[in-house]
Structure 1
Amino acid sequence: MNKHEAIRFISQMYTDIVVNFDFDKLPNYFHNDYYQVTDGKKINIEEFKKHLTTLKATVDKIIVSPFYDALYDEELQTLTLRYTVDVTKKSGTRGLIELIAIFEIQNRKIVRCNELSHALHNVKEFKELASISSPVV
């Protein structure tokens, strides 16, 4: 994959999985041995599916910004991105979260992701959203 292909691939993944919550498409993007570390919390593919299900139950709408920064190492097949997500919870509360994510891609599948997230406003309500795995009461 070259840089433009990798950016397109990750962008489409966000649209399908995070924005549209089309979990049937997970195998199109993620390797069975996938794991991610978000804000120091490591999860495997099954825990990632739980995270997505909880996210879907918690939020009404997610808008992923264009990528502000994108660095790609073609030899290592890693894509580093900086972007924001505008989130509206089912309660109507809105928040903006900045993310820096490093994706490792092998054979057109994401095998690892390392993320750092930072809520830009409504910090108390949105600081854990990037790694949420059980409904917030």
Structure 2
Amino acid sequence: MESNKALIKESFKAVVENLAYNEAAVEKYFSKRYVQKVDGKELDYQGFCQHMKVQKQALKYLSTDFITIVEEGGIVFTNHIVNMETKEGRSASIQVIAEFHVEEGKIIYCNELTHLRSGDEQDRDLGSRH
């Protein structure tokens, strides 16, 4: 059986880092009951899909570096760095502390805090922009 840590990493490659929006990939990794809380904002599944579409329109590069990833049952905690470049040429680095819940092989919940380590203030909301 695949670990939930591997599922999280795979979902980032297929959904977050892929600069083309892929609805089939979102459906593969995320439950239709998905809820994401980011810096005081809450997105449901449709809001998350919209967030991914908006993010893809704004970025020309995005990579994720997992510093720490810990799994306990259906819960995965990560400390990761997201590096990105917008289509306008601005670069940003965001540190993310996230708690993911996995049920029946899909991500059902995420609660994350983001910190803009470097970059333009106008890109601070790239983790939740929708």
State TM-score, norm by structure 1: 0.88
2:7 aligned residue: 9
Distance 1:40 1:132 in 2: 12
1:121 aligned residue: 118
- Contact persistence 1:97–1:126 (CA under 8 A): no
- Contact persistence 1:62–1:85 (CA under 8 A): yes
Distance 1:38 1:53 in 2: 17
2:69 aligned residue: 70
**Shift in Å, 1:126:** 2.2
State TM-score, norm by structure 2: 0.93
Root mean square deviation of aligned Cα: 1.3
Deviations 1:35-64, CA, capped at 9 Å, x for gaps: 110001011000111100000011111011
Provide structure 2 residue ranges, at least 5 long, that are not aligned to the other structure: none
**What is the number of equivalent residue pairs in this alignment?**
128
Distance 1:26 1:111 in 2: 12
Decide which structure has greater strand share: 2
Deviations 1:13-33, CA, capped at 9 Å, x for gaps: 000001114332111111111
Distance 2:120 2:113 in 1: 14
Show the 5 A alignment for 1:17-96.
17-20=15-18, 21-65=21-65, 67-74=66-73, 77-96=74-93
Provide structure 1 residue ranges, at least 5 long, that are not aligned to the other structure: none
Deviations 1:87-127, CA, capped at 9 Å, x for gaps: 10001111100001100000101110001001101241321
- Contact persistence 1:103–1:113 (CA under 8 A): yes
